[in-house]
Amino acid sequence: MAKKKLPLTTTFADRVIDFNKHVHFEGKLPAGIRIMNPFREDKNILPLSSLFYKKFYDDHEMRHLILGINPGRFGGGVTGIPFTDTKRLKQECGIPYEGKETHEPSSVFVYDVINAFGGPAAFYKKIYINSMSPLGFTAIGPNGKEVNYNYYDSTALTDAVYDFIVDNIRQQIALGVHTDVCFCFGTGKNEKFLRQLNEKEQFFGKIVALEHPRFVMQYKLKSKQVYIDKYLAAFEEEMG
């Protein structure tokens, strides 16, 4: 996934778009696992996501980084933007989209947080979201249908994409993110893996883990506001 380094005279948006244009996994995956690279699978996704980044990131500001797990089929897998499904892309971000409408619960929660923060412009001015693996994975479920698969769901997959993940985090940092603290979506396996990786690589001074948006929507929906408040408090405490 190595690529040329862009000079920091380019905007944050330009650097993200360039990253998306070149991101590619060249390793071998375990049998039954498919890589999901929306930027190569759909010619419309790079221009679509580029509109988003030019709207919210076309400046020279540094951001704090949130790392999720890996893109899902109905959010980043369709829009090219982590935790942004097509409904949120249109309704919350004002980016036109003509294709099939998708709804991802994680995206609903993230945009509840974003709106509580002050809206997309205010949020994205301070924060950049990506994932441990910038590309997603799928497998065939018991019913024969394609389902999301996480990088940590099997040791074989984790081992196969380990170097890809390390390289990805280095490239995310090079985009222009602060390294004093990194926010982690997930207080289970994603947090554990990121903490172990950070201990070894010393990417960030501190890891702050927050309950994954999907966990909140699936298991804690009645107390969703508690988690929104927790997110906001963490951002306030760590970013000032």
pLDDT in tens, 54-76: 999 999 999 999 999 999 887 78
Higher pLDDT, 1 or 119: 119
Q: Give dist(CA 93, CA 95) in Å, integer.
A: 6
Mean pLDDT throughout 19-41?
A: 95
Mean pLDDT throughout 122-145?
A: 94
Percent of the chain with pLDDT over 90: 88
What tens digit of pLDDT does each residue of 150-188 get? 999 999 999 999 999 999 999 999 999 999 999 999 999
- Going from N- to C-terminal start, the domains of the chain cover 26-239
Name the average pLDDT for the chain. 94
* CA pseudo-torsion sign 68, 70, 75, 78: positive
Q: Give dist(CA 192, CA 104) in Å, integer.
A: 25
- 80 and 46 Cβ atoms separated by less than 8 Å: yes
How many other C-beta atoms can be found within 10 angstroms of the C-beta atom of residue 157?
A: 20
What tens digit of pLDDT does each residue of 223-234 get? 999 999 999 999
Question: Which residue matches tokens 């951002």?
Answer: 235
Count of residues in the chain: 240
Name which CATH class applies to 26-239: alpha beta
Q: pTM value? A: 0.93
* DSSP states along 58-114: -SS--EEEEEES---TTTHHHHSSTT--HHHHHHTT-----S-----HHHHHHHHHH
Amino acid letter, residue 9: T
Write down the pLDDT at residue 75: 77
